[in-house]
Structure 1
Amino acid sequence: MGQALLRELEVFARENGFHKLVLGTFPFNTAGQALYRKMGLREVGVFRNHGKLDGKWVDVMWMEKLLM
């Protein structure tokens, strides 16, 4: 289901002139990262202690896919 949703999002983005897709994910979300990489996204960086999850500071990894 996630792969189909990402495909539709990419189609919509292309049809509407978007230059790139950008997403944030937790570094420990390895299953999600595998899907994102499979769909052509690449890691561009990690924001350290970017937000709180269950009262603890967590990092957020940022990924992108150029569409043009």
Structure 2
Amino acid sequence: MSPLPSPAPQHPPSHRHKQKPLTIGIAAGAEDAKYHAKYKELKRKVKDIESDNDKIHFKVLQAKVSIRRMKMERA
């Protein structure tokens, strides 16, 4: 007698083939608006900080020039 091949094992249907329905609607729009407002706020803060840094950098440069001038006068 020749051995018969055994039937392939039956697996339950995989869960990854089931897709959840996409829920795009009012909640997604509200999230977009929230993140857009947060983005604008953070961008404004970055501009404020950068302008403060520019002012401080300018003051440091002026101080270096005045120190160099004082050293030249003393020498």
TM-score in same-fold range (> 0.5): no
Larger helix proportion of the pair: 2
Larger strand proportion of the pair: 1
Query: Which gives a bigger RCO, structure 1 or 2 (Cα 8 Å, sep 6+)?
Result: 1
With the length of structure 1 as denominator, give the TM-score of the two structures. 0.25
With the length of structure 2 as denominator, give the TM-score of the two structures. 0.23
